[in-house]
């Protein structure tokens, strides 16, 4: 997020859980075949995160897919897990190629005073909800929101060039998340300064005009770079991978809450993210539109 004081002061308490990016991140994005690592669930700002909840009841889906998509490991907690139960995130990455790990959370709820909710909508570029509240003269009405998270990460095992492209396709699959970021090229097969296109899908359909935030971590302690772009009419964005990253892409969508949740919320927001590493660094360059 791009919250600046004093807006941050207004939102700090009420939005600690909701108004931050959420993503998956392995300790290393490039592994050797046979390694087992814990994929971290993180929430934070500016691609700096803290561990997300360890409550198993918050996890609806947690799965690893092999490069060809024919082998998967599900660590989704069993239905009825106790509120205090933790969930496992240790996945074995056996096969060479690009693996996909994804997580979908259950809904959480948030209520904010009208002015703070309006500030939040403006900060996140959620124009649809902001416009409707203004048209309905609801700007002073408390904002009742249910929010959920959908995160994917791409983990490269071994060298990409040693795996036939036909056997390395999981990275481009659509996994049916309510809001999903889908790359159209494998970032681990691109060379520095080549372009990557990414689709944003809302319920499986292109989300035109969606705001997508992009962060790139820099080596040697340099500041993380960040910019925001919007999808075209086909739901696509274009960016250049100019260094090893890693990269975080994030989008958020807000619609009217479904009828079954109207007793607790008026709005449903969905937060989606995609993380991966990039090619070898090109000196003095960072990701640009």
pLDDT, tens digit only, all 289 positions of the chain? 333 333 333 333 344 444 579 999 999 999 999 999 999 999 999 999 999 987 898 999 999 999 998 889 999 998 876 666 789 999 999 999 999 999 999 999 999 999 999 998 888 888 888 999 999 999 899 999 999 999 999 999 999 989 999 899 999 999 999 999 999 999 999 988 889 999 999 999 999 999 999 999 998 889 999 999 999 999 999 999 988 999 999 999 999 999 999 999 999 999 999 999 988 654 445 455 5
Q: Kindly list the distances between the CA atom of residue 89 and the CA atoms of 58, 72, 73, 77, 148, in Å, as whole numbers in the listed order.
A: 14, 14, 11, 11, 19
Condensed to tens digits (0 to 9), the pLDDT of residues 59-114 reads: 999 999 999 988 899 999 988 766 667 899 999 999 999 999 999 999 999 999 99
Report phi then psi at 280, rounded to 5: -60, 150
Q: What pLDDT score does 82 carry?
A: 66
Calpha distance 76→74 (Å, rounded): 6
Q: What pLDDT score does 83 carry?
A: 64
Report phi then psi at 111, rounded to 5: -135, 130
Q: Kindly list the distances between the CA atom of residue 233 and the CA atoms of 105, 125, 201, in Å, as whole numbers in the listed order.
A: 28, 18, 12
Pairing between strand 247-256 and 211-216?
antiparallel
Q: What is the pTM of this model?
A: 0.88
Q: What pLDDT score does 287 carry?
A: 54
Of 153, 155, 158, 189, the closest CA to residue 33 belongs to: 158
Of 122, 102, 103, 104, the closest CA to residue 112 belongs to: 122
Q: What pLDDT score does 84 carry?
A: 66
- Going through 162-257 in order, the beta strands assigned E by DSSP cover 179-183, 194-202, 205-206, 211-216, 225-230, 236-241, 247-256
């Amino acid at each position: 997020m791009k919250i600046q004081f004093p807006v941050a002061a207004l939102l700090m308490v009420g939005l600690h859980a909701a108004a931050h990016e959420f993503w998956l991140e392995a300790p290393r994005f490039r592994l050797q075949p046979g390694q087992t690592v814990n994929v971290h669930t993180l929430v934070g700002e500016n691609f700096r995160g803290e561990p997300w909840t360890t409550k198993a009841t918050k996890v609806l889906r947690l799965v690893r897919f092999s490069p060809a998509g024919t082998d998967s490991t599900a660590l989704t907690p069993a239905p009825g897990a106790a509120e205090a139960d933790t969930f496992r995130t240790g996945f074995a990455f056996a096969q060479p190629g690009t693996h996909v790990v994804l997580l979908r959370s259950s809904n959480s709820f948030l209520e904010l005073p009208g002015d703070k909710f309006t500030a939040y909508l403006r900060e996140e570029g959620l124009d649809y909800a902001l416009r409707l509240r203004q048209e309905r003269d609801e700007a002073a009405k408390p904002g009742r929101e249910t929010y959920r998270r959908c995160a994917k990460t791409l983990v490269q095992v071994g060298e990409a060039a040693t795996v036939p492209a036909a056997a390395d396709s999981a990275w481009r699959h659509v996994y049916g998340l309510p809001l999903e970021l889908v790359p159209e090229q494998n970032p681990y097969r691109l060379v520095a300064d080549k372009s990557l296109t990414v689709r944003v899908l809302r319920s499986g359909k292109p989300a035109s005009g969606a705001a997508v935030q992009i962060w790139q971590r820099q080596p040697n302690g340099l500041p993380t770079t960040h910019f925001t772009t919007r999808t075209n009419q086909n739901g696509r964005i274009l960016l250049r991978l100019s260094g090893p990253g890693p990269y975080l892409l994030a989008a958020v969508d807000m619609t009217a809450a479904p009828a079954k949740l109207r007793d607790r919320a008026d709005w449903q927001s969905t937060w989606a993210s995609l993380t991966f590493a990039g090619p070898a660094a090109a000196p003095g360059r960072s990701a640009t539109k």
